[in-house]
Chains A and B, each alone.
Chain A
Amino acid sequence: MATRVGVITFPGSLDDRDAQRAVRIAGAEPVALWHGSHDLEGVDALILPGGFSYGDYLRCGAIASLSPIMTEVVAAANSGMPVLGICNGFQMLTEAHLLEGGLIRNDHGSFICRDQVLRVENTDTSWTRDFEAGENITIPLKNGEGGFIASDETLDRLEGEGRVVFRYVDVNPNGSLRDIAGISNERGNVVGLMPHPEHAVEPGFGPDTDVAMRSGVDGLAFFTSVIERTLASV
């Protein structure tokens, strides 16, 4: 049976259907979940997609982190289910205290959309095992509030425990401390990042590469990694 990956739609979610497509392209079955429900429908893994849930009112991800389904998301994450938060989903995970730190307005003050190079620093998480350690990947970044912040102590701990999963390379696009683009929880099943792997999974619709226009598919390994992870745990 194919791995079933739930993608939760909140009011204002934007990249939910893109995350579903990415799951499908990777060979798993996407399951559309609604924020107002308390039912995870027996999925094997969860994605909190990008967007502007609740219009980013109050703080990005703050209201969504209190949605009904988040009770089940927190319980599932604590019991080891793989959870990926992309952009607004990352913001929700920090608001829900599943991940540490927080995301603030980009240091330059504007929304920025660009093809971003990241270094994969930890391949032991549920979402990164199909990468090579230290590998550089290019995936789209698009956000207005992507500056990662945490106390020095937290940053030291995250780095010391290998929980900085992705770092920005060449350009830090939003003022994130220590160039941090994505982190994980202690167990490595919960990962959040600002860039969008689901927009680099299909030739023709991803970032430009040296070989051909829009042919970048570096994001696909996120989704194949979780399939392996869930199959391995059966």
Chain B
Amino acid sequence: MNHPKTPHVVDARYMEPPEPFVQTMEMLDRLQPGERMLLLLFREPHPLYKILRQNGHDYETELTADGTFEILISR
């Protein structure tokens, strides 16, 4: 799935936990330095945020009108 922000997208909006977490971590493993990935969810993943911070990833979150949280994560 392509998105204007990045071609690397995990659309986890209809996935059951812990699948969004697993797929995000797998995609982060595959990203090259400097690349960014986008996680789409209908909630803010605070446990994931904590792990991203611990692992030195930057992220920014935007809530869109339909209730999707777009979380842009740097490698």
Do these two chains really belong together in a complex? no
Residues of A within 8 A of B (CB): none
